[in-house]
Chains A and B, each alone.
Chain A
Amino acid sequence: MNKLNQLTIKQAKDGLKEKKFSSVELTQACLDEIERVDKTINAFITVTKDYALTKAKEADQLLAQGAIKPLLGIPIAFKDLYLTRGIRTTAASRVLKDYIPQYSSTVVEKIENAGAVIIGKTNSDAWAHGSSGENSDFGSTKNPWNIHKIPGGSSSGSATAVSASCSPAAMGTDTGGSIRLPASFTNTVGLKPTYGRVSRYGVVAMASSLDTMGHFTKTVEDSALLLSVTAGKDKQDATSLDVPVPDYANELIKNRIVTIGLAKEYFSEGINEEIKSSLEQAVNKLKSKGFEIKEIGLPHTKAALAAYYIIVFSEVSSNLSRYDGIRYGNDRSYFGDEAKRRIMLGTYSLSAGYYDAYYLKASKVQTLVKQDFENAFKQVDVLIGPVSPTLPFNLGEKVNDPLSMYLSDVLTVPINLAGVPSLSVPCGFSDNNLPIGFQIIGPQLSEGLLFSIGHKYQSLTDFHTKTANI
């Protein structure tokens, strides 16, 4: 059997139920692994050791009484953008270095109510601005598969915490790829839900019209389990969707043989050959099980990236204007370079005379991108494509070239503009043993379908069971 810290949520739940081990033992195993590896990978900003052990003890008492809760006694880490009452929340920025929230985000409350144990707050690009994790004011996170490589961002610490078996699951945020990119770079499963499926309340905002709250797990099965807890209408978030939450564990095991679309724009020049060949093998695997494959087009893929950044810069400049150092946090001199760049670009694009040329234009292009996906889903049930055009790059390689960093998100941002869900699933390794992932994209609110396909794929392959040696 795997070590306790290496278990999936499902395995840990079964073990707790059968009294093979306690939540305290499980939590301690995760804390020990953090102690052992975090000096190297820098996944955590805050480890909530005492709080976690107290909560684990409470969970053990409830378990002894026969209580049943979906995450009872399971350790979970949170990207440090999720407000946690009484626990420092920094957004990985020095502006919020000492900020202790007076309330918790809705997702944190839901997960704690489900019985989970908060094990720590994870590192990320400050304010979730970045694709590599290097924009953190608390130092870069390293990729457990090769510590000279970036783990992908912005949810770098959540991805690596799961990848390095410091926690069976971790919450992240995805505005333009910030869950899927690091998931594909660290051999973890990453879910970006439909916009509004999961409440954004109490999570530090980046671009409010695009931000989604998702998570990292070791398996698709765990991803389904966790979404059943986090999804749903929240009166504190007016954009959350008032649509019943399906039992995703049940959706997962439905045998749905559907038509898969491959967008030619996602397999064009500039995509790494090893990634292409891994994707081809994954698609063939599904084809051999009866899935139909069809080529389609998403003509506005390239335009999506520029539109995305205009919307992001604009909304960032607006959202970050609240940080004045008066009510909480430090003053504006504490912003790092990337936050300053985005605030300035957004200020520029929203300034007098430029609104029509930038934000309005981008919103129109967003409509075209959304229509691309709507047209595609008239022909196929889901789309499969690569997550990243390249393998994880070297630490420091793009830090002085923000534009080239922005271009890393070309295959992930159109999904955010369309508001649709996407699931990143491990599908192989490069010759130098770096993880590769693919994304399954479906229409709005089709998470159940994505889980069933991802789960089917994982029942045919064992890439997701491989762990890094650190």
Chain B
Amino acid sequence: MSENSLTKDEVKHIAKLANLPVTEEEIIKFQKQLSETVDYIKTLSSVATQGVEPTSQVTGLKNVTRTDEPAPSQTQEEALSNAKNTHNGFIKVKAIFNEQT
């Protein structure tokens, strides 16, 4: 079996960066699958691209702007209709800074 190009620690680190909860078993499975895919996409390095401009907008549009005018939008009730935790018209979230751990 070929060696995985990503280590388990790297997989864990990437999952943490992406804020994805992953189990130990998933890490083992993903390590192999992600490594195979990374090896594959690395083949791109052999394509000569010296002096080639990157494409960021395939139809060539540039700086599409519009006037910033207020217009009717959703009501507060509508905007909150899918939030699981609300309080007095606001979305309730877990505390980020919590001194009492």
Contact = CB atoms under 8 A, between A and B. Distances in A.
Output the residue of A343, A344, A349 with the most chain B CB within 10 A: A344
B74 interface: yes
B95 interface: no
B37 A363 contact: no
B82 A347 contact: no
Nearest to B46: A303
A434 interface: no
B54 A102 contact: no
Nearest to A339: B20
Interface string A130-143: 00000000000000
B79 A347 contact: no
Given A332-B21, A343-B18, A368-B49, A310 B59 contact: no
A241 B59 CA distance: 8
Interface string B44-72: 11010100111111110100101000000
A344 B45 contact: no
B65 to A, nearest CB: 8
Nearest to B10: A348
Given A327-B82, A364-B53, A309 B41 contact: yes
Contacts of B36: 402-403
Among B6, B33, B58, the one with the most A-chain Cβ atoms within 10 Å of its Cβ is: B58
Given A195-B58, A239-B64, A368-B47, 17 more contacts: A102-B74, A210-B58, A235-B66, A239-B57, A241-B59, A306-B40, A340-B26, A343-B20, A348-B38, A361-B44, A363-B56, A364-B54, A365-B49, A368-B52, A370-B58, A419-B58, A444-B59
B55 A309 contact: no
Interface in B73-101: 74, 78-79, 81-85, 91, 93
A358 interface: yes
B74 A344 contact: no
Contacts of B6: 348
Contacts of B1: none
Given A195-B58, A366-B55, A406 B37 contact: yes
Interface of B: 6, 10-11, 14-15, 17-22, 26, 30, 33-34, 36-38, 40-41, 43-45, 47, 49, 52-59, 61, 64, 66, 74, 78-79, 81-85, 91, 93
Contact of A351 (B14, B19, B22, B30): B14
Given A326-B93, A340-B20, A347-B17, A367 B55 contact: yes
Contacts of A368: 47, 49, 52
B49 to A, nearest CB: 4
Name the prevailing secondary structure of the A interface residues: helix
Q: Is the interface of B mostly helix, strand, loop or mixed?
A: loop
A178 interface: no
A415 to B, nearest CB: 11
A332 B19 contact: yes
Contacts of B20: 332, 335, 340, 343-344
A69 B95 CA distance: 53
Given A345-B37, A351-B17, A100 B81 contact: yes
Interface in A197-256: 209-210, 235, 238-239, 241
Nearest to A340: B20
Contact of B11 (A103, A317, A344, A403): A344
Contacts of B53: 364, 367
Contacts of B30: 340-341, 344
Contact of B61 (A196, A306, A344): A196
Given A100-B82, A357-B45, A363-B54, A327 B91 contact: yes
A215 to B, nearest CB: 20
Contact of B33 (A306, A402, A419): A402
A53 interface: no
A51 interface: no
B43 A328 contact: no
A194 interface: yes
A300 B47 contact: yes
A387 interface: no
Nearest to A195: B58
Contacts of B41: 306, 309-310, 345, 349, 358
A348 B43 CA distance: 16
A360 interface: yes
A329 interface: yes
Contacts of B64: 238-239
B55 A370 contact: yes
Contacts of B59: 194-196, 239, 241, 419, 444
* B21, B30, B44, B78, most chain A CB atoms within 10 A: B44
Given A235-B66, A317-B18, A327-B91, A341 B33 contact: yes
